[in-house]
Structure 1
Amino acid sequence: MFAGTPAPAVPSLRALLDSPRHEVVAVVTRPDAPAGRGRKLSRSPVGELADEHGIEVLTPRRAGDEDFLARLSELAPDACPVVAYGALLPRSALAVPRHGWINLHFSLLPAWRGAAPVQAAIKAGDEITGASTFRIVPELDAGPVYGTVTERIRPTDTAGELLDRLAKSGAELLLSTLDGIEDGTVQAVPQPADGVTYAPKVTVDDARVNFAEPALAVDRHIRSVTPEPGAWAEFRGQRLKLGPVRLGDGEYEGLAPGELVVERRRVLVGTATTPVVLGEVQAQGKKRMAATDWARGTRIEQGERLT
């Protein structure tokens, strides 16, 4: 039985469906949720793929619900692979599959346990990250590890771009892990006690940009929350969404944090060190556009700031 919800989990489910060695007897995913302008109930990406293949889809509000646990026991799966399911699994559920619940986590454990490992790795300036498969235990992301793959973090990577690559390489890792469990050729190794770090969920408030930080930190922060939940700052009392920035060339070093300078082909913002060059921005009620187009229409006055 496969457990997962968002788009990054889809490559793993697809890999299992394409594998001649494994049978997906059911999928468990988060309940249908409102989406789009009409706020109509929408199936998760994992649920949609399962529907396309005629696979039973379970959508418990909690993984401890009696009906869900009863159906899980009836299915009696050998193993339950998990990718970004998004809900806690109680001991009663963990005990059912004979090989346990095998999670694909997008970090090199024990680094960046938690909900937002990719965002955390980019924000911290890590040069290397990866994905790990491990057996789920009651403690958060602390179970023994079956295998890992590594991935270099590129200087311009957003969280979305890095996660796309990890979702693909991680799907191959998850499939090979399940093959090895079936063959008896892989063994889970306990995580070391040293090097444990945590990556809690990133909220909209967390995504606000602090231009009083150095330019490098501002760049990493914005890339780490792109596309979700999306970087932002305030301008004239309204929220302005910010796409990735470029590091400036050392001009305007005396610019105050958040202070704007508009040139013909670029818009600069002051930081604690050198300014950064804005990429795309989106004002409230407007479409996303180049920062130069926004500045031209906004008529920014000297000394105005992003806060």
Structure 2
Amino acid sequence: MKVIFMGSPDFSVPTLRALVDAGHEIACVYAQPPRAAGRRGLAEVKTPVHQAAELLGLPVRTPLNFKAEEDRAAFAALKADVAVVVAYGLLLPEAILSGTRHGCFNGHASLLPRWRGAAPLQRAIMAGDSETGMMVMKMDKGLDTGPVALTEKVAITPDMTAGALHDRMMQVGARLMVKAMAALEAGTLQLCEQAAEGATYARKIDKGETRVDFSRPAEAVHNHVRGLSPFPGAWFETAFADGKPERVKLLETRLATGSGPAGTVIDAEAGIVACGTGAVALARLQKAGGKALDAEAFLRGHPLPKGTVLG
């Protein structure tokens, strides 16, 4: 089929490549515009999808939005059979949703209607969900409310981070979208309306919620940490030997046994910290400007004696 692909981050790239490998004609790739990056913000960096499309020799467009009539007309002029959307980063207007013969199909990383919105992977882990999945849905005017075509469930293991789930899901999503497009081309793709009950919203991760709150139960702390790992990363502050409070990213934890005042190191050698109930073991940490290290290496260079308070 003649396909318009719309995506921006790393998560979207495997689907683009899989569609090309499956023999579809990619009429054009749409991605978010290049953004200023680097410490000084001087250089503009293209999105991963933009870079991948150029390597594949595909034309790329990067409109800021589709408010301009010329952008909508340019989209329609491609006369594509279908648009495939994976983490593009824009709510699409009706002119785009209906701008191809079969409409727009989205690869969404949750078991809809649970976790509609921007951060479904992180929110699923932070909520302690034991499974999630990829879904291919036909887009409508709502936020992830359209009818679903295909689903593949994915287990969330107790210590899985958002990064590990991301890498698993983007491969599942690529395979599922190719399957959906094959069925669409054959005229056998069936759509099913989403359930009316159980809708939840996966709001974008805010920096204000990344600080670790050790007063919460250990399982909630553990889920919070792994749901934000590796980016943007949960963090705490503590004073090391020089007495100056420093921020430390906490990238991995493990559930542990023990009790004490919340946020207090109760086992220095094992890096165990008491929570509101139960405890967690620090497993992977990173100081500002430093490398991410496993707990043994980190604590060897930056000891946290028993009784140290993290907050």
TM-score tier after normalising by the smaller chain length: over 0.9
Checking the alignment, whether the CA contact within 8 Å between 2:118 and 2:203 is kept in structure 1 is yes
Checking the alignment, whether the CA contact within 8 Å between 1:209 and 1:222 is kept in structure 2 is yes
Checking the alignment, whether the CA contact within 8 Å between 1:262 and 1:292 is kept in structure 2 is no
Within a 5 Å distance, the mapping from 1:183-222 to structure 2 comes to 183-222=186-225
CA deviation vs aligned residue, 1:65-122 (integer Å, no higher than 9, x gap): 3332121021121110000001111112212112111000001111111111111111
The offset of 1:145, in angstroms, is 0.6
CA deviation vs aligned residue, 1:207-227 (integer Å, no higher than 9, x gap): 221111111111111111111
SS in 1 for 2:208: coil
The offset of 1:64, in angstroms, is 2.7
Q: Where does residue 19 of structure 1 map in the other structure?
A: 22
Checking the alignment, whether the CA contact within 8 Å between 1:64 and 1:93 is kept in structure 2 is no
Distance in 1 between residues matched to 2:231 and 2:18, nearest whole Å: 25
The offset of 1:163, in angstroms, is 1.4
Distance in 1 between residues matched to 2:30 and 2:152, nearest whole Å: 25
CA deviation vs aligned residue, 1:255-299 (integer Å, no higher than 9, x gap): 1111124533x2121101222111122222333334444445445
Checking the alignment, whether the CA contact within 8 Å between 1:244 and 1:279 is kept in structure 2 is yes
Q: Where does residue 245 of structure 1 map in the other structure?
A: 253
Within a 5 Å distance, the mapping from 1:1-307 to structure 2 comes to 1-20=4-23, 22-37=24-39, 39=41, 40-236=43-239, 237-248=245-256, 250-251=257-258, 253=259, 255-264=260-269, 266-298=270-302, 300=304, 303-307=307-311
- Residue 110 of structure 1 aligns with an amino acid whose one-letter code is P
RMSD: 1.7
User: Which is further off, 4-13 or 207-216?
Assistant: 207-216
User: Which is further off, 53-62 or 33-42?
Assistant: 33-42
User: Which is further off, 23-32 or 119-128?
Assistant: 119-128
Q: Larger % of strand: which?
A: 2
Distance in 1 between residues matched to 2:290 and 2:169, nearest whole Å: 32
Checking the alignment, whether the CA contact within 8 Å between 2:271 and 2:304 is kept in structure 1 is no
Distance in 2 between residues matched to 1:120 and 1:72, nearest whole Å: 33
SS in 1 for 2:110: coil
C-alpha change, 1:299 and 1:144, in structure 2 (3 Å) is closer
Checking the alignment, whether the CA contact within 8 Å between 1:64 and 1:89 is kept in structure 2 is no
- Residue 283 of structure 1 aligns with an amino acid whose one-letter code is K
Q: Where does residue 242 of structure 2 map in the other structure?
A: none
User: Which is further off, 232-241 or 206-215?
Assistant: 232-241
Identity in percent: 40
SS in 2 for 1:86: coil
Distance in 2 between residues matched to 1:24 and 1:283, nearest whole Å: 44
TM-score when scaled to structure 1?
A: 0.93
Structure 1: stretches of 5+ with no match in the other structure:
none
Distance in 1 between residues matched to 2:195 and 2:255, nearest whole Å: 37
